[in-house]
Amino acid sequence: MRIILSALCLTTGLFAAAISENPDTPFKLATFEANGKTAVGMVLDDRLVLELAGANAHLTKQAKLPQVRIPGEMKELIEQYSSVNKRLYQIANYYKANPPGKQPFAYTVDQVAYKAPIQYPWNLLAIAANYPSHAAGMGASRQGGDQPAAARPPGGFDASVISKIVPDRDAPIFFAKSPRSCIIDPGATYYIPPGRERIDWEGELAIIIGKPARLVPKDKTHDYVFGYSIMYDLSDRGGGAPRRTVSMFPGANWFEGKSIDRGAPFGPVIVPKEFIPNYEDLHLVTKVNGEVMQDDYPRSMIWKEPQMVSYLSEILTLYPGDVISSGTPAGTGMERQKFLKADDVVSIEIDKIGTLTTHIQAWPAKGSK
Sheet holding 284-288, edge to edge: 189-192, 354-362, 345-350, 284-288, 291-296
For the domain that residue 67 is a member of, what is the CATH number? 2.30.30
pLDDT at site 16: 52
pLDDT-above-90 percentage for the chain: 82
Residue 354 contacts residue 46 (beta carbons within 8 Å): yes
DSSP 8-state class, residue 173: P
Q: How confident is the model over 50-57, as a mean pLDDT? A: 98
- What single string gives the DSSP state of each residue in 29-43? EEEEEETTEEEEEEE
Q: Is residue 230 part of a domain?
A: yes
Query: Is a pLDDT exceeding 50 seen at residue 225?
Result: yes
Do 49 and 164 sit in the same domain of this protein? no
Do 301 and 226 sit in the same domain of this protein? yes
Structurally, how many domains does the chain consist of? 2
Q: Is residue 367 part of a domain?
A: no
Do 223 and 331 sit in the same domain of this protein? yes
Q: Is residue 368 part of a domain?
A: no
Do 207 and 289 sit in the same domain of this protein? yes
Do 80 and 153 sit in the same domain of this protein? no
Q: Is residue 369 part of a domain?
A: no
Q: Where are the beta strands (DSSP E) in the chain?
A: 28-34, 37-44, 48-51, 106-108, 113-115, 124-127, 174-177, 183-184, 189-192, 199-200, 203-209, 225-232, 235-236, 264-265, 271-272, 284-288, 291-296, 323-325, 345-350, 354-362
For the domain that residue 344 is a member of, what is the CATH number? 3.90.850.10
Instruction: State the alpha helices, DSSP H only, in the chain.
Output: 2-12, 15-18, 52-63, 74-79, 81-97, 132-141, 179-182, 254-258, 305-315, 333-336
Integer Cα distance of 93 and 267 in angstroms = 24
Do 221 and 333 sit in the same domain of this protein? yes
Q: How confident is the model over 20-49, as a mean pLDDT? A: 97
Do 99 and 155 sit in the same domain of this protein? no
Domain boundary among 64, 83, 115: 115
Do 262 and 300 sit in the same domain of this protein? yes
Do 108 and 139 sit in the same domain of this protein? no
- Domain containing residue 164: 124-362
Name the least confident of 131-140, 177-186, 220-229, 307-316: 131-140
Do 162 and 87 sit in the same domain of this protein? no
For the whole model, what pTM was predicted? 0.91
Do 247 and 228 sit in the same domain of this protein? yes
Domain boundary among 47, 82, 115: 115
Q: Is residue 248 part of a domain?
A: yes
Do 281 and 332 sit in the same domain of this protein? yes
pLDDT (tens digit per residue) in 236-285? 998 877 788 888 887 778 899 999 999 999 999 999 999 999 999 999 99
Sheet holding 28-34, edge to edge: 106-108, 48-51, 37-44, 28-34, 113-115
State the Rg of the chain over Cα. 23
Domain boundary among 67, 88, 115: 115
Q: Which of 283, 271, 333 is nearest to 44 (CA)?
A: 271
